């Protein structure tokens, strides 16, 4: 039998602000939900991978295990900026791929600080040297958007439409932080953070957690879990290379293009095979860039892609049907696994009002500045 | 061909205090040394795993890559208390075992704070809840030693002999922090930290880094690297289970016993097959406990084991021939990979004056409070 890996359980808590709860407590809730979803218990798990950024040195995985059943299994704590959750998921995938384990739990969790951007316990820790070029998150993503505008004539209105779309999607997702429509004038007239991104075009700073149970093909068949299982067709992680890199935002654009190329190759698929995408819309400008970076449209076509509704629910390739980071929220370490939850839910046909009809193959994408791009391609198995 | 994994390059910097250097700078130095040892370059590496505790959220792996060649390969940052380096090594092993990559670089690095125990940038981050039971590192390891004394009559002198032995070993290791003999009266009369551990019976707080190049069997043969290669016979990580656990120090004793049992099983070996051991002597009392935890002697026999010289160079199972944490030093994230360096060097027959004659199989062991025990069994391949 192959060493293919399947997601057999996955869930996330409704994102929000939980200043009175602990990080392990938030992680434990999602872990138990994912185990329930799989119909399994912590005693069935053979390893735990935990993704958390702001308390990365504080044994969060072990403290989650203390809450849900201290079984003595190996625990690995991973951190990779905003790609932290995807990295934990990927290392869990690797452990099964290596045939060292059959059943592995991956948990992503973050408790953010207050304010627009958060900052968690003790700051992001990401040093300035060569990473943000002295800028802040809003200014670097604004600059990248403006470079796209300069080259291709992308408009403020087109960037703003991304936010309108994702907020609309989130009205159909009870686990998103917000369920509110934000009409175009409201988005464009919101407080300007860094042109062209207004406050409604910046990701929502929330606490959250998500978890997934990964399983070998042999074990999934043995346990009768294949009917709702989702196969991991590709798991890719990249950093940005010094050569051949985009000069404006190499750790966003180059990193994503290399990861997408490798993911499509490993899966033996192309962009037209992808039925839905959860991508890293940390700012509205970023989503526009990633339409092209992921090959959903040609270079310079992203403005038309949003104008013509291709990225909306019902469109050619629905993007961020969950509401995305812009409205579902962006608890850093949780985001990568929350993406897996969203895509898996669609591939299972269990996404309710926001279901992408007939979805068979989906993609998740995260970017961590610093740099790390994680892409997963998932396929319905049942 | 098998999916066995080999160490084909490994090195460490001489441990010391480097307050004016950065963490990535320290890590980069070891990385380049390990690549040189393998006769390879960073362009040959397909992934990088980085172990660092105190800056676990600060993309240390990516910043090392910026210094040694920013090639765009995936970078994963791992943290697991004092088992951080062993965890990074193990995840690198997993990536080759999974046949996703053939050549992977693992780097462990730590810059400690000043003082006896260090504390790094912003403290260890390990929370008090249920981990140390409100104690400090010196008090919990003192208590564990005294429990051994109560049960088996182990003496202050026997604990002190561990330090005499490891300091003697380090006089033969130019990469250890110290190369000084510490006679028994000096050890016993040193400042008392927490009975029975005097200051010379506590690990040395230093900065350091170590790195290893891991390789698939296919690639190692193709590159002609098998003559100095060392095979990873077992890679094991555990946490402490709630049930059946030692009540004094479960995350040290139970964790190690479970890991040792699994490692021997996976390798198809027993304690008598092991020619040398690098174990986690964070305090002299800990080394005594681990003789028994690792099965090097029977329960209650550890005092006699040190008295009769079995753990010394030339003895039955030389332990911490490098000088150990007590004299080589203990830069947390680097320690797990520094252990791999020491054992590999002996298995290659390249350990100079401290060579364990005819060493074919060796074991490394680390403990992270919180909890994580990492054990690797390595075997000469050439």
Average pLDDT value for residue range B247-268: 90
- Which residue(s) pair with A10 in the sheet? A212
CB-based contact, B53 to chain A, within 8 Å: yes
User: CA of A171, closest CA in chain B: separation in Å?
Assistant: 33
The answer to whether B368 and B79 have CB atoms below 8 angstroms apart is no
Q: What is the pLDDT of residue A368?
A: 93
Q: Per CATH, is A5-115+206-229 categorized as 3.30.365.10?
A: no
| Phi, psi for A211 (deg, rounded to 5) | -150, 155
Other CB atoms within 10 Å distance of the CB of residue B109: 37
Q: Residue B113: its pLDDT value, please?
A: 76
CATH class of B137-201+232-380: alpha beta
Residue B129: predicted pLDDT: 45
Q: Which residues of A touch B99 (CB under 8 A)?
A: 97-98
Residues 257-276 of A with CB under 8 A from B: 258
Q: Do A202 and A327 touch, CB atoms closer than 8 A?
A: no
CA A370 – CA A82 distance, rounded (Å): 9
Residues B283 and B201: beta-carbon distance below 8 Å: yes
Query: What are the strands, taking DSSP E only, across chain B?
Result: 5-12, 47-51, 75-79, 103-110, 192-194, 197-198, 208-216, 230-238, 276-278, 361-368, 372-380
CB B322 within 8 A of CB B360: no
Whether B92 and B106 have beta carbons less than 8 Å apart is answered as yes
Q: Which of A63, A100, A255 sits opposite B97 (nearest CB)?
A: A100
Q: Is B370 on the interface with A (CB under 8 A)?
A: yes
Name the segment(s) of chain B with CATH classification 3.40.47.10: 5-116+206-229, 137-201+232-380
Is residue A82 annotated as a catalytic residue, yes or no?
Answer: yes
Has residue B126 got a pLDDT over 70? no
Cα of A19 to nearest chain B Cα, Å = 17
Interface of A with B in 60-79 (CB under 8 A): 62-63, 65-66, 69-79
Angle subtended at Cα A205 by Cα A204 and Cα A211, rounded to the nearest 5 degrees: 95
| Spatial distance between the Cα atoms of A50 and B206, rounded to a whole number of angstroms | 28
The predicted-structure confidence for B145-194, as pLDDT tens digits, reads as follows 999 999 999 999 999 999 999 999 999 999 999 999 999 999 999 999 99
Measuring CA to CA, which residue among B76, A70, A371, B121 is closest to residue A61? Answer: A70
Give the tens place of pLDDT for each residue, B197-206. Answer: 999 999 999 9
Residue B116 pLDDT grade (very low, low, confident, very high; cuts 50, 70, 90): low
Residue A129, pLDDT score:
45
Q: B122: distance to nearest CA of chain A, Å? A: 8
Residues A280 and A366: their CA atoms lie apart, in Å, by 5
- ipTM at complex level: 0.95
Residue B300 pLDDT > 80: yes
Among A163, A206, A202, A158, smallest CA distance to A183 is for A163
Taking one residue from A and the other from B, the number of pairs with CB-CB distance under 8 angstroms is 163
Residue A2: pLDDT above 90?
Answer: no
pLDDT at residue B135 in the model: 72
State whether residue A132 sits within 8 Å of chain B by CB. Answer: no
Closest CA to B208 of B358, B11, B13, B6: B13
Q: Among B54, B72, B88, which would you mutate to test the A interface (most chain A Cβ atoms within 10 Å of its Cβ)?
A: B72
Closest CA to B167 of B175, B156, B159, B176: B176
Q: How far is CA A86 from CA A51, A109, A210, A377, B377, in A?
A: 8, 11, 11, 12, 30
- pLDDT tens digits for range A220-246: 999 999 999 999 999 999 998 887 666
Q: Is B148 a catalytic residue?
A: no
Measured CA to CA, the distance from residue B201 to residue B192 in angstroms comes to 9
In the predicted structure, residue B124 carries a pLDDT above the cut 50: no
Place of tokens 């009205």: A171
Q: Are A11 and A30 in contact (CB under 8 A)?
A: yes
User: Would you state the pLDDT for residue B122?
Assistant: 38
Q: Which residue has the tokens 């990873």?
A: B232
User: Is the domain B5-116+206-229 a CATH 3.20.20.140 member?
Assistant: no
* Contact status, residue A71 vs residue A64, Cβ threshold 8 Å: no
CA distance B172 to chain A (A): 34
pLDDT tens, residue by residue, B33-85: 999 999 999 999 999 999 999 999 999 999 999 999 999 999 999 999 999 99
Mean predicted confidence (pLDDT) in B264-273:
98
Chain B CB contacts of A126 under 8 Å are 57-59
Tens digit of pLDDT for each residue in A28-57?
999 999 999 999 999 999 999 999 999 999
* 3-state helix, strand and coil shares in percent for chain B, rounded to the nearest 5: 40, 20, 40
Residue A124 has pLDDT above 70, yes or no: no
Considering chain A, tell me which residue range(s) the CATH 3.40.47.10 domain(s) occupy.
5-115+206-229, 137-201+232-380
Q: pLDDT for A57-98, tens place per residue?
A: 999 999 999 999 999 999 999 999 999 999 999 999 999 999
For helices B23-38 and B60-68, give the axis angle rounded to 10 degrees: 60
Contacts of A55 in chain B (CB under 8 A): 125
Averaged confidence pLDDT in chain B? 93
Q: Is B21 a residue whose pLDDT tops 80?
A: yes
Q: Is the pLDDT of residue B86 over 80?
A: yes
Residue A113 banded pLDDT, cuts 50, 70, 90: confident
Is pLDDT at B222 greater than 90 in this prediction?
yes
Give the pLDDT band of residue A364 (cuts 50, 70, 90). Answer: very high
Any CB–CB contact under 8 A between A57 and chain B?
A: yes
């Amino acid at each position: 039998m192959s060493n293919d890996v399947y997601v057999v359980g996955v869930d996330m808590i409704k994102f929000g602000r939980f200043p009175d709860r602990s990080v392990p407590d938030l992680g434990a809730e999602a872990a138990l939900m994912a185990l329930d979803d799989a119909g399994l218990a912590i005693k069935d798990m053979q390893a735990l991978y935990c993704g958390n950024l702001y308390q990365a040195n504080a044994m969060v995985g072990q403290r989650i295990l203390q809450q849900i059943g201290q079984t003595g299994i190996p625990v690995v704590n991973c951190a990779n900026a905003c790609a932290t959750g995807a990295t934990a998921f990927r290392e869990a995938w690797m452990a099964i791929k290596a045939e060292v384990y059959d059943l592995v739990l991956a948990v992503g969790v973050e408790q953010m600080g207050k304010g627009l951007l958060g900052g968690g316990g003790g700051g992001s820790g990401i040093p300035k040297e060569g990473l943000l070029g002295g800028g802040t998150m809003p200014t670097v993503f604004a600059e990248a958007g403006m470079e796209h505008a300069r080259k291709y004539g992308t408009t403020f209105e087109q960037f703003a439409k991304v936010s309108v779309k994702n907020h609309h999607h989130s009205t159909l997702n009870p686990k998103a932080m917000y369920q509110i429509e934000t009409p175009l004038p409201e988005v464009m007239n919101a407080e300007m953070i860094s042109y062209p991104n207004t406050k409604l075009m910046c990701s929502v700073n929330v606490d959250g957690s998500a978890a997934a149970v990964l399983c070998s093909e042999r074990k999934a068949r043995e346990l009768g879990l294949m009917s709702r299982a989702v196969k991991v067709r590709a798991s890719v992680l990249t950093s940005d290379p010094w050569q051949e890199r985009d000069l404006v935002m190499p750790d966003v654009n180059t990193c994503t293009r290399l990861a997408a190329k490798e993911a499509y190759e490993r899966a033996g698929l192309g962009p037209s095979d992808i039925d839905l995408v959860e991508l890293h819309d940390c700012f509205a400008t970023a989503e526009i860039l990633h339409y092209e970076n992921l090959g959903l449209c040609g270079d310079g076509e992203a403005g038309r892609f949003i104008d013509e509704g291709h990225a909306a629910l019902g469109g050619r390739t629905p993007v961020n049907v969950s509401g995305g980071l812009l409205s579902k929220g962006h608890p850093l370490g949780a985001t990568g696994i929350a993406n897996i939850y969203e895509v898996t839910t669609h591939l299972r046909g269990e996404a309710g009002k926001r279901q992408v009809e007939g979805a068979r193959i989906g993609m998740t994408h995260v970017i961590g500045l610093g740099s790390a791009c994680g892409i997963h391609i998932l396929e319905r198995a049942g």
